[in-house]
Amino acid sequence: MLPGPTNVPNRVMNALLSPVINHRSTDFRELYKTITEKTKRVFQTESEIVLLTTSGTGAVEASVVNLIKKNDKVIIPVNGEFSTRLADLIDSWGGNSIRINAPFGQNPSFDQLEEAFEKNKDTKAVYAVYNETSTGTTIRYMDKIGELCGRYGSFFIADSVSILGGDDLPVDKWNIDICVTASQKALAAPPGVSPISINARTKKYMQNNPPPIMYLNLSRYFKYFDEHYETPFTPALPLFYAFNEALDIILEEGMEKRIKRHKICSDAFYSSLNTMGLTPFAAEDARSDVVIAVNYLKGMDDKQFRDLLANEFKVLVAGGFGNLKGKVFRIGNMGEVNRYHVMRTISSIASAINMCGLTVNPEAMSVALEKLKPL
């Protein structure tokens, strides 16, 4: 139950055993073409898809180094570890980040972003971490940012590493120019493949202004794809087969049904944890449905609690980042999550709390069961 990597279905693991083929062959071209077509459906986009053989950070970095030039102004909401990292990356690449800070667990208001635009009409891009994994916080006005960027002609980039496949993300409808994700979270595939969508105007900009780098230079990927349906460098072939299978599982379920399942599971988590007396870290209007960050009760020790969960019940949850270490634990409500995972996690948490010498309201189980009824 980690916020990534998540459980990988056997069907996907078995696909890793496919033969390692020639990446300059018809077989590979067909594989790559089919993966990009399926990925477009999951991203709800007509944009071009590039699959990088990297973890999520590689794809996030590609979105910066192919777009941002020296002194470009970039507006970015900052409210946790991943948004801070992204703002630092933009600055270290020579950009000029305009950080709209909010306390961890909250989002800056949309009005704050709009105000920053008013003061900086020459803003090149807005980068937003749609789901801030370190705090369990989701930006619920991505559509409005897209509309704002459209109004000012700026680029809109979404770091959707920990959310795509687990919550709604209609890339084209929300006017997102570049959307970045990774295989190992809500898409329930092994780590190592990171897809990016890039729309036509952004592709054109990148092709006309390529960065002086090799591996993450997206213009090279466009060229190879347009000419041969290939990647410029050797792709992680077994991971591509696995990712292809994970996409099939997603599309067999259907995006709408999948997102609803995540929502039902997150409602069950929040309601039953609340019944136990545990409070979410994130403010209500910013609360994530894919990463449930929970404040520890007084008397609960992070190491003791998570060791009990892991060793006694074989349930893995994550701890907090930075100064949230020891103060919160985080449950990944992603990918394969279903009734079984929620009930097993909730009952294990209740038992572990009991073993720490505290009591919880046993009604928490029936509250979760009730919420899970639609599944």
What residue ranges bind ligand PLP (CB under 6 A)?
4, 55-57, 60, 82, 129, 133, 159, 161-162, 182
Indicate the residue among 159 and 289 with the shorter CB distance to ligand PLP: 159
Asked whether the beta carbons of 246 and 318 are under 8 A apart, the reply is no
Task: State in angstroms the smallest separation of the CB of 182 from ligand PLP.
Answer: 5
Residue nearest to ligand PLP (CB): 56
Task: State in angstroms the smallest separation of the CB of 134 from ligand PLP.
Answer: 7
Task: State in angstroms the smallest separation of the CB of 10 from ligand PLP.
Answer: 23
Task: State in angstroms the smallest separation of the CB of 3 from ligand PLP.
Answer: 7
Indicate the residue among 222 and 321 with the shorter CB distance to ligand PLP: 321
Task: State in angstroms the smallest separation of the CB of 161 from ligand PLP.
Answer: 4
Task: State in angstroms the smallest separation of the CB of 129 from ligand PLP.
Answer: 5
CA–CA dist 294, 287 (Å, integer): 11
Indicate the residue among 54 and 275 with the shorter CB distance to ligand PLP: 54
CA–CA dist 25, 41 (Å, integer): 25
Which structure tokens are listed for 188? 């329930």
Indicate the residue among 228 and 325 with the shorter CB distance to ligand PLP: 325
Indicate the residue among 133 and 333 with the shorter CB distance to ligand PLP: 133
Indicate the residue among 59 and 278 with the shorter CB distance to ligand PLP: 59
C-alpha distances (whole Å) from 233 to each of 24, 31, 32, 139, 152 are: 10, 16, 13, 35, 36
Task: State in angstroms the smallest separation of the CB of 100 from ligand PLP.
Answer: 17
Indicate the residue among 28 and 281 with the shorter CB distance to ligand PLP: 281
